[in-house]
Amino acid sequence: MLPREIIYLSLSYSITAILIYIGLLSILVKSAKIELKDKFYNEKIAEYKQQKKSLTLEQEKLNIQVTGISLLYETTRDISKTLDEAEALTLLKIKLKQFVEFDDCFLLNSEERDKFEEVIFYHLPLVIEGKVFAYLAIKNLNIKGLTLDHLYIIVNQFALILKKIRLYNQLQELAITDGLTHVFSRRYLMERFTEEYNRSLKFDHKLSFLMLDIDHFKDCNDKFGHLVGDIVLANVADEIKKNIRQVDFVGRFGGEEFAVVLPETDKPGAELSAERIRVAIKNRMIKAYDEEISVTMSIGIATYPDDTDKPDKIIDRADWSLYRAKQTGRDRVCTYGVYK
């Protein structure tokens, strides 16, 4: 072979080798680009997945917050409608059951709290103005749809509602009771008497009314002073309450005068009740500061419908009978229409 042909053949092989190299290099470059592209896409996909996961977790947190806010609003709205403490607690239980699991839920004071194991009972303090006034004891609590923070917010709102209920009840009690003797005020006593009169009228029941007055109470005030007199009034009221039935009710009619309403009670029954009160008061020794005092009481009785069918006349005739008890020696029971 001629040298020129050898040169051409060598050149041809070189060019072919170069082309093959270039082709292989192109393939390698393309492969590298694909790998880089795949890596980029994989990284982006992983990033997107992480972002999606983060967004999902954030959404779950937001859902829990929305749920908590919604529950807080609904719970506060519904419980605020009642002025009864037991009913408020029942409504709270119903609302909480939608979002947490527990066996029971009730209120405890500080002394009662120590009787319940904290392993079983989760104690949430009810705080008003920085002071714990009660605990919400939740048995076997398992939080599923709320955070503990939300539960504390709900409990704090419940504490405010309880405070409102208790203040309302205190105001109501002040409105219907006498501040000194803690029996019904005259106004509320008359309201209850009217209710009992209407009920007796409707169902044809007997109804008796007692008018009671402490004997020589003015002398007691003059001798020992009004502070001692107040203690005497409080003790007399307490003794009357102890010696009547749960269905009966007593009120301060004015000064040292009291009244007792006896539903479904005839004359003999009213006389037994009045005599029991009179004896109990006579036998009670009242300690007032450095003094020990005993007092007596005169009592007048009138009964519906035996004596009258008019409610105002029942009171008038009981008062007239009281006046007769005073005039005939005090420390006695006199019944309208009965003269002994």
Active site positions, annotated: 256
What kind and span of H or E run contains 133? strand 131-139
Q: Is 255 left (phi over 0), alpha (psi -120 to 50) or beta?
A: left
CA distance 130 to 136: 16
Residue whose structure tokens are 């006896």? 262
- Across 315-334, b (16+ Cβ under 10 Å) vs e yields bbbbbbbbebbbeeeebbbb
Please give the C-alpha separations between residue 270 and each of 238, 260, 299, 333, in angstroms, as whole numbers: 19, 10, 11, 10
Nearest to 183 by CA among 154, 163, 155, 212: 212
CA 329 to chain centre: 51
* Six token digits for residue 184: 């019904």
Please give the C-alpha separations between residue 96 and each of 105, 135, 151, 224, in angstroms, as whole numbers: 10, 16, 9, 58
